[in-house]
Every structure is written in structure tokens, then in C-alpha cells.
Structure 1
Amino acid sequence: MKISEFTPAAWSRALRGGDGVVVRIGPFVVRMQTAVSDLARLLHEMWGHYPLCPEEPLRDCHLRVDWNGWYRPWFRPSSIFRVDGRAPFGPFPARHHLPMLEWGLNFCIAQRSHHLLLLHSAVLERNGNALLLPAWPGHGKSTLCAALAHSGWRLFSDEFGLVDAERGQLLPFPRLIPLKNTSIEVIRDFAPKAHLGPTFLGTRKGNVAHVRPPEESVTRMSEPARARWLVFPRWVADAPLQLEPMVKPEAFLMVATNAFNYEVVGQQAFELVGRMVNGSDCYRLVYSDLAEAIAALDALAGGARV
């Protein structure tokens, strides 16, 4: 059963209930509860494609969003995120409940998933081959990822490249794609069929709106892929398109330094990144126009010269 099969009222009641709901997101099973009605409504809309798995005995984390204090719904309302009963950070303004939940889930994955190598990278797939887009904040990774996800590529993740340490495969983790500031309107114009949620003004990362993952990406989130292309993107205003090969030692260093838990995984991480880089074509991408960048990556995936 998918979340969207609930009526909004029934979904809100389930989230308020004593056990909450158990949701599968990629390889993770999450128990979720909230009494914040606006958040419940948004989760029904934005998480609607995710399946429920109440029979799953093992849950990776228990997430809960509550009002911060009994009087808060009326006086300077704020909400607080808890994982397994503890609040890892302070309260947020109540109007920022969805960004807080998404950032909190990122925190849980980064802190608890050391059986996987966690790369700071967008990941998309085509024909069983994975495109990784490792990038520093502000380089246009999320914007390019959202555009590709609505241009024939299957979304794995905007934030985490999850590498199965045993098989060396990338695992899908299709989540909401957070867009910041001017990127919001860029994607509205580029992909008018993309489902964007409301814009949250003045968050800790500026204005934020989320793109719902395409339904196919969620439906196929049990299908892994192997790395085929490592492309390090950077958006530069008015720059001509550049897609240039990178030497593999430089690509190795950039992938390793963009990993969340490289030091924790240790020798195995070194070997995983080495195999991934050796088995991939590595490029540096500079772009200013999304359509040009996507055409270049499509040509790369199709084996054409660019």
C-alpha cells in the first residue's frame, strides 16, 4: 500500500496514532509520527509514492515531529524533530517543518549508515548505468539533478550516493530534491510537469522548495546500478558549456573528499572508491544552460562524442 492510497484525513490519523506509520525509502525503513497537521498534509502530497511496510520487524529509525511546548501552536509556534526519542538539534519555526524533517532524515542516514559508503553526490541512472554528480554546495548539483530526473534519467538521490560495500553497487534512495532560492523558478520553467511543493521562506538555507521524486524512481527503488560516469558539475553564470575528461587520480581525490564517512569505513572505502573511479569515465562539467548540460550528458550516456 502506498501513502497516496490513504485519504488525507486517514493519513493524518495514522501519523498521530500510537505506533505511527512505517515507510520504506530506498534501503531504509522509517517509522514516522507527527501531530502537526500541516506537515501531515504535505507528507501525504510529497511522500505519496512511498510504500508502507508495517510488517517489517526492523526499523532504521523512529522519526517524530512535535510542537515545541503545549502553547506553541498559538504563540510563536515552533516544532522540534526527534529521532528515537531524542532531539539532535534545537527547534525550528513551525512553518519550516518539512525542511526540518528532510534535514533530520539526512542527519540520521549520515550518522547511522556506516555499513554503506556515503558519497556526497547526486546519482541518476540510465540503462543500468549510474551517473554520479559529486559537487560542493552552490555548484548547481541539485538543480541539474532535478532537471535530469525530469529528462529521462531515473533518480537515485540528490544528496547521497549509497555504495553497497559488499557488491560495490549504488543503491537508490529517491527523496525530495531541495531547491534553494533562484533554482526554484529555474526548475519551474525548465520542467513544468515537475511536482514542486510550497516554498519555505527564510530557512537556515534561504528559501527552499522541494521537488517530489518521479513515481517511477520510487517504484523501482529496489533496482541498484553500477557507476559508469563520474561528472563533477559547476554552474557558472553565462559560461559556455565545457565537458572535459579528468585524470583519474584527481577524480579519486574529489570523490573521497566528498564522502561523509570515508574515514569511518577506512580501507574498504579506499578500495571501493578506487574500483568506482577505475570503472568510470570521469569528467569536469561547467555549464550555465540546463538544456545544453543535459544534451551533453545524454550524448555521453549514448556513447556519442561531445
Structure 2
Amino acid sequence: MFELNATADLIWRGLADGGTPGQVAKELQTFGVSAQDAQSFVAECVAGWLHAGLLIPAQIVEQAQSPGRESHLRIAGLACTVAIHAPAGDPLPSRLEAVFGQFAAPPSPGTPRFDIVEQAGAYVLLADGAPLGVFAPERIVPEIKAVLTDRLAKSVGDGDFLIHAALLSANRQGLLISGAPGAGKTTLTLALAARGLGYGSDDVVRVVNGERLEGVPFSPASKSGAWELAAPYLPMLADLPIDVRGDQQRVRYAPVSGFGAGEVEQLSWVILLARRPAASAMLEPVEPLFALTELLGSAFAGDGRLKGDVLERFAAQLNGARCLRLIYSDLADGVSALEGLTRG
């Protein structure tokens, strides 16, 4: 909900009644507002509402209904269509292919649809015809990922849930990594995947019926502060485009095409990260119950709750795995400790 002052309310009602911005500005002048101020007020309000996804020009709706370049994706249990309406030579189709191409799937009828319409150097994003906002080129890819992640979370079926964690595999044995923001989860995951571990996810893991782990292999978003650390493992990272997330973090999306598959038959290791200045890398045991509590702190179920039997099965997985805390400071030492763990 939005609270509007009297001027903004008049502008909104004028547009809602079918008036053009120019007509609304003239109406403002009848209340004693100068022509320059009236035009400025209307332009500022319209721009803000467009970027917030509260308004959408009719021509954008028409463009979104015209044929576009479609991609059909399946992300865990979410099937959807993404259509791009942009001139030939626009870089966005290749950007989306690089970041989301791993989810390519055959078309599925009746699935959510997202349309991206190029407009004056920016992109209007629509979900099933409803506007979500206008985004600069460096903002559109992170926004699409955020929207797809949100839809995925809401699509999680009965008995399944999502956790905020990374998932890798060694000989189909699962390595689950959890850590607070800044603990280095994504950078460790990138380094380990580059060193040969199978890549399942750096951020979202689906727990199926409490019994099976499935990584959701979004392209890892490496933050600017980690680019130098990750460079020895992924030299191409420095050549990738820079995007800006909604939290203003500058990120580069690492391609997953060169990583090994991250299918997991059995969860073998659960790692809780503790990054401490000047600490030598070491692994110390933690109780499975403590690990369970940490992982459930980030869990999301479609109906907002976890069933008791599902939770019991997930707890049994943790009881059968080695639950450890990785205390480390240096990335190379952390990578070496986890490589030694998976080889042992």
C-alpha cells in the first residue's frame, strides 16, 4: 500500500481515468501550479510508479503480447516461460542463456510466463502480464533470478522444502555447506567445483520428502569482494559482466557449464562455516541436532510449515552424516580441508 499526498493523488486519479501525462499536468495548472512545476511533478510521479511496477504503458502491453524470443525453463519443480521482446542484437538473450541455460526444458502448457520488454535502454519485466518494474541493464538479470527464486519457493510441493545452503558431491556423496552471509559459502563452492567436485547449488537446496537432496544449480553470484579470492580457481571470472542486485551488491554470475554434475545419492557431510580472522583451517565435530537447527533456520516450505514425518526423515539423514564446523580464514586452506574430507 502507498500513501499519496494531494498532488500525487490527483495525478494518479487523472491517469487512472485515462488521461495522458500532458493532460494531467494541465489539470494541475488549474490549481495554481506553474506549467514547469506541473510537468515536473507529473514526470517524477510517473517515473517512480513505472519503476515500481505500478504503471505500465499500453505500448508495453502490446509488445509483450507480440511474438518474442522464448525460453522454456524447469527449475526444480518450477516450469516457466521467459520471453524477450527486444531488437536484434540486444545482448540480453545471450546473457540469459549464459546464466539460466542449464534449466532449458521442453515447453509445458499452463506454466507461469515472464515477459521482458526493452524500452529506451531499460527493461520492463512482467509476470503473467502484470508489471514488476523497470530495470537498468545491470539490474535485470539479478531481478529475474530473484523472481524465479521466489516463484520456486512458492511452488514447493507438499512434503518438500528448501534450505539456504550449498550442495556439492564427491562420488555421488553429498557435501552440504551452510553459513551466514559473509562466511564465504559461494566462494568455497566455486573453488571446490572448479577443483572437480560436482556442483549442485551454491544457494538453494531442495529437500524432497525429507529423504533426498537436490541442488538448484543457479549460476553462483560471486560478490565483488570475492573476485580476487576466486580468481586462481576461476580465471574467467574477471571477464564476466558485472550485475547489480537489489541489495546493491555488485556480482558476476559464474557459468556452471564447466562444472561436474552434482547428483547426490547420500548425504555424507554437513559443514557449518565459521570464518575467523587469522584462524588456521580446522574441522571440529558438531552435534547433528545443532546442524539441524542451523539448517532449519533458513528453511522454507510452500505451506509455511514442515510435517513431522518429513522432519524426522531429514533429521535421520543428518544423523547418518558427519556434521562439522569449518573454522578458517584463508580460502585455500578451507578448500584443502574440505578436499581432504571428501577424499578421506
Q: TM-score range by the shorter chain?
A: 0.7 to 0.9
Aligned position for 1:41: 94
From the two aligned structures, give the one with the greater helix fraction. Answer: 2
Superposition TM-score, scaled by structure 1 size = 0.79
Point out where structure 2 has 5 or more consecutive residues left out of the alignment: 1-65
Aligned position for 1:257: 297
In 2, the alpha carbon distance for the partners of 1:171 and 1:180 equals: 24
Aligned position for 1:174: 217
For residues 279 and 210 of structure 1, do their structure 2 counterparts lie closer, same or farther at Cα, with a shift above 3 Å needed? same
The CA deviation at 1:66 is: 2.8
In 1, the alpha carbon distance for the partners of 2:329 and 2:233 equals: 13
In 2, the alpha carbon distance for the partners of 1:25 and 1:202 equals: 20
CA displacement 1:200-230 (0-9 Å, x = unmatched): 257524211111113454xx47x44321111
CA displacement 1:13-72 (0-9 Å, x = unmatched): xxx835822133455433111224332121233344554413x4564x3233234xxxx4
In 1, the alpha carbon distance for the partners of 2:109 and 2:220 equals: 29
Pairing partner for 2:204 from 153, 157, 160: 160
Pairing partner for 1:282 from 311, 323, 337: 323
What amino acid is the match of 2:291? Answer: A
Tell me if the contact between 1:157 and 1:174 (Cα under 8 Å) persists in the aligned partners: yes
Give the length in aligned residue pairs: 274
Are positions 1:302 and 2:343 aligned together? Answer: yes
In 1, the alpha carbon distance for the partners of 2:318 and 2:137 equals: 43
In 2, the alpha carbon distance for the partners of 1:185 and 1:179 equals: 10
The CA deviation at 1:171 is: 1.6
For residues 229 and 190 of structure 1, do their structure 2 counterparts lie closer, same or farther at Cα, with a shift above 3 Å needed? same
Aligned position for 1:7: none
Point out where structure 1 has 5 or more consecutive residues left out of the alignment: 1-15
The CA deviation at 1:281 is: 0.7
Give me the identity figure in percent.
Answer: 24
Tell me if the contact between 1:129 and 1:226 (Cα under 8 Å) persists in the aligned partners: yes
Tell me if the contact between 1:125 and 1:225 (Cα under 8 Å) persists in the aligned partners: no
Are positions 1:30 and 2:30 aligned together? Answer: no
The CA deviation at 1:152 is: 1.1
Q: Secondary structure at the match of 2:130?
A: coil
For residues 94 and 24 of structure 1, do their structure 2 counterparts lie closer, same or farther at Cα, with a shift above 3 Å needed? same
In 1, the alpha carbon distance for the partners of 2:259 and 2:187 equals: 19
Are positions 1:111 and 2:154 aligned together? Answer: yes
Tell me if the contact between 1:181 and 1:208 (Cα under 8 Å) persists in the aligned partners: yes
Tell me if the contact between 1:228 and 1:279 (Cα under 8 Å) persists in the aligned partners: yes
Kindly name which structure, 1 or 2, has the bigger radius of gyration based on alpha carbons: 2
Superposition TM-score, scaled by structure 2 size = 0.71
Q: Secondary structure at the match of 1:107?
A: helix
